[in-house]
Amino acid sequence: MSDDRVTHDTMGEIRVPAGAAYGAHTARAIENFPISGLRFPRPFIRALGLIKKAAARVNGRHGRLPTELAAAIEAVAQKVVEGAYDDQFVVDIFQTGSGTSTNMNANEVIGFLAGAHPNDHVNLGQSSNDVIPSAMHIAAAEEAHHRLLPAARHLRVSFERKAHEFHGVIKIGRTHLQDAVPMRLGQEFSGYSRQVEAACERIESALPGIHELALGGTAVGTGLNAAPEFASDAIAEIAGETGIPFREARNHFEAQAARDAACFLSGALRVYAVALTKIANDLRWLGSGPRCGIGELRLPAVQPGSSIMPGKVNPVIAESVLMACAQVIGYDSAVAWCAAAGNFELNVMMPIMAYDLLASIELLANSSRNLQVKLVDQLNADRARAEGFVEQSLAMVTALVPVIGYEKAADLAREAWKSSRTIRQVAREKSGLAEEQIESLLDPRRQVGD
């Protein structure tokens, strides 16, 4: 990189490391923001490359860039899309709130390698204020469509398979952490399947807002310095390349001043994290023991469970999911805080919002896949233990209520508890019902339905 290239910055000369493709603006950002060591992830850099590629193609097509220069920018931008220059994207996440430093990082890398000016050519028709929110939406949409939703759907199918496999296992239900009436283990797992399915539906409902892109609004939403057709044409290029129905924002002022769509998606991710927390906790409790806990499920032994107790099997996969979900819930709080912090025509918390949103998607995608493959697919039921609990439950008396009434049934339950006997044993002695009727009413298969 020549010395005259790095002195174009209005803030004065700054030395760019030898071999770096970025320029003075990026170098100054590195100097000013050495805060966390966190960088934008691959999906975000890919999205920036897609934007710069589409912009160059459209600007060349409409004569705003010379054909050869547009082609050179497009070729380098495609390399950014592919990840060839990820090591050149060096700006910390904690930087200027518009993400200008990262947008200029992209402009400088592409401009240097394409022989183009980073502002006049690579950034033509754009501003950091419309590029960064667009990149956030593109990256989030691609990751949700191609990684998170497929992983969650596989997990749902896994739960559904287990629901069929465990259909014949009768167990005791539990409410308020106390014994309730009998149910099928498969019914319990069908509930987990539906929770994941519903989470997918909520995420899908958030994506249309993410499909709207701010690109073309430039500085404040007016589109100053962008050609009239730039936004629609560039976004059509991005939609065609990704296969995702991106479209121009219905209102560019909303699209740049607010980050509500990202906040809504983050909220849907939080709900999925809450659902997985409930499910993972259930699985580890149902597998607790193996002899002194509930033990209705047999968990796979994926690693030694203790450094001191030989033979111990811990629910490590469930625990890893619980921690990932806690992190997602924390990220959502940060995203909500950032979304609320917009001022007038721009939100200035976008880099950390984008980072947290993409991190949440990645965590949930990886956790869903790991939970499915390492735990749910390998679960087995302990039928004898599950059905043994049923016979011991005082809630079995519920089946007698329609015949003997609530008060008498309650008396039988209290007697069974005091005398350490089963409901069946006490009913034979004190219900006044015939043996055949008792056996019929207390048959758990009669109580659980299909």
Give per-residue pLDDT as tens, 68-81.
Answer: 999 999 999 999 99
pLDDT at 380: 98
pLDDT class of 449 with cuts at 50, 70, 90: confident
- 113/183 Cα distance (integer angstroms): 66
What is the mean pLDDT of the segment spanning 245-273? 98
User: Taking the CB of residue 343, how many other CB atoms lie within 10 A of it?
Assistant: 10
- Predicted confidence band at 362 (pLDDT cuts at 50, 70, 90)? very high
**pLDDT over threshold 90, residue 184:** yes
Tokens of 392: 């011991």
The whole-angstrom separation of Cα 274 and Cα 268 is: 10
What is the average pLDDT across 347-356? 98
Residue 290 has pLDDT above 80, yes or no: yes
Half-sphere exposure of 332 (CA within 13 A, CB side): 20
Active-site residue, 306 included: yes
Q: Helix, strand or coil for residue 180?
A: strand
Average pLDDT, the chain: 95
pLDDT at 389: 96
Question: What is the distance between the alpha carbons of residues 207 and 211, in angstroms, rounded to a whole number?
Answer: 6
> Which pLDDT value is given to residue 12?
59
Q: Please check the confidence at residue 319 and state whether its pLDDT lies above 60.
A: yes
What's the pTM value of the predicted model, to 2 decimals?
A: 0.94
Mean pLDDT computed over 44-48 = 98
CB atoms within 10 A of CB 310: 8
* 304 — pLDDT class (breaks 50, 70, 90): confident
- Give me the helix-helix angle, 100-114 and 24-32, nearest 10°: 150
Domains along the chain with CATH numbers = 3-124 (1.10.275.10), 132-216+251-383 (1.20.200.10), 394-448 (1.10.40.30)
Output Rg (C-alpha) for the chain, integer angstroms: 30
pLDDT band at 369 (very low <50, low <70, confident <90, very high): very high
Q: Is the pLDDT of residue 9 over 50?
A: no
Annotation says 154 is catalytic: no
d(CA 268, CA 273): 9
Split at pLDDT 50, 70, 90, the class of 7 is very low
Identify which has the larger pLDDT, 15 or 371.
Answer: 371
Q: Which two tokens stand for residue 412?
A: 């039988």
Inter-CA distances, 335 with 8, 38, 73, 213, 359, Å: 36, 17, 33, 18, 11
> Which of 90-104, 118-132, 291-305 is predicted least confidently?
291-305
Model confidence band, residue 13 (pLDDT cutoffs 50, 70, 90): low
Is residue 8 predicted with pLDDT exceeding 80?
A: no
Predicted local confidence at residue 11, as pLDDT: 55
Catalytically annotated residue among 36, 205, 306, 333: 306
Q: Is the model's pLDDT at 108 over the cut of 80? A: yes
Structure tokens of 372? 């499915």
pLDDT at 1 over 90: no
For the record, the structure tokens of 62 come out as: 């409409």
3-state secondary structure of 284: helix
> CB-side exposure of 263: number of CA atoms within 13 Å?
17
Mean pLDDT for the stretch of residues 3-32: 75
Q: What angle do CA 270, 271, 272 make, to 5 degrees?
A: 90
Check pLDDT > 50 for residue 260: yes
